[in-house]
Amino acid sequence: MSQQTQPAPAAALPLFYSKPEVLNAAPHAHLRVKPPENLKFAAKANSVPLVAEEFLDCAGAYPIVFTQGPSPAAVAIVGLRDNENLFLDLKSRWLPGFPVPAYVRRYPFIFLELPEQDRLTLCIDRAAANVVEGGSEGQLLFENGEPTEFAKASLAFCEAYQKQLIATRAFTEILAQHDLLVPRNVELKDRKGRAYTMGGFQVVNEEKFRALPDDVVLDWTKRGFMTAIVAHFISLRRWPLLVERIQTRLG
């Protein structure tokens, strides 16, 4: 949190965030965060960022793949069409029995790097439906100029997430360095013959993975990378689940 009033960076805003502001006791003295009535902010996302620590929990629910580009990121595929999350019900609630990614649970809070600074600062999306000014409903962020326990807990969650994100970046960088990531497309059909094609992502090449030297395998096992890779392989069997979800929605 910051004691200076300043806007968060406007360029290249992360997924879901449209009006992030640096948390500050003075302008946000009466700001409250209500329990979210729904997750409508995630309704148009067909993929959601993941950290490697979530791979095991999410492997049974969503295909886990990697984005293309010089800095691959891990994402869970939650939809087969643009602007459609298949794991929200008609009231925009995440379907019971399916894990909600930490990236979604973190909202409306986020760490952002401020211009001309080399540190991350806790911000909040003022555009979030459950962030309100005044009233008595919801959790205050500041009392008597000091962060409340709720604000401290939100900060702790973001700090933990940031550490996991850094570890995940190290993991994906190593996959890229060993040339293990390969582009992949999937073509799927439902029972009515409707076709769905997903592309623009990468997966771990299983043949190259199995050819890794023993010393690399041992090192990656100690670092937890092997667990994440195996979970990734398991998750790639979940494409039919997405077809079932979209059949349920379309009839």
Write out the DSSP string of 155-205: HHHHHHHHHHHHHHHHHHHHHHHTT-EEEEEEEEE-TT--EEEEEEEEEE-
Q: Establish how many alpha carbons lie within 13 A of residue 39's alpha carbon, considering only the half-sphere containing its beta carbon.
A: 22
Judge contact between 163 and 111, C-beta under 8 A.
Answer: no
d(CA 231, CA 165): 17
d(CA 21, CA 128): 11
Q: How confident is the model at residue 112 (pLDDT cuts 50, 70, 90)?
A: confident
Statement: residue 174 has pLDDT above 60: yes
Predicted confidence at residue 113, as pLDDT, reads 77
Whether omega before 72 lies within 30 degrees of 0, making that bond cis, reads no
Residue partners of 209: CB distance under 8 A and separation at least 6: 180, 229
Q: How confident is the model at residue 8 (pLDDT cuts 50, 70, 90)?
A: very low
- The per-residue pLDDT for range 200-237, each reduced to its tens digit, is 999 999 999 999 999 999 999 999 999 999 999 999 99
The mean of the pLDDT values for the chain is 92
Q: Which of 160, 159, 142 is nearest to 151 (CA)?
A: 142
- The per-residue pLDDT for range 133-169, each reduced to its tens digit, is 988 899 999 999 999 999 999 999 999 999 999 999 9
Percent of all residues in the chain with a pLDDT value above 90, rounded to a whole number = 86
Helix, strand, coil: what percent of the chain each, to 5?
35, 25, 45
- Average confidence (pLDDT) over 177-204: 94
Residue partners of 215: CB distance under 8 A and separation at least 6: none
- Average confidence (pLDDT) over 36-63: 97
d(CA 58, CA 213): 28
Element (H, E) at 63: none
Element (H, E) at 223: helix 214-223
Residue partners of 201: CB distance under 8 A and separation at least 6: 65, 66, 67, 68, 75, 77, 183, 184
Statement: residue 5 has pLDDT above 60: no
Q: How confident is the model at residue 1 (pLDDT cuts 50, 70, 90)?
A: very low
Predicted confidence at residue 251, as pLDDT, reads 79
d(CA 242, CA 236): 11
pTM: 0.91
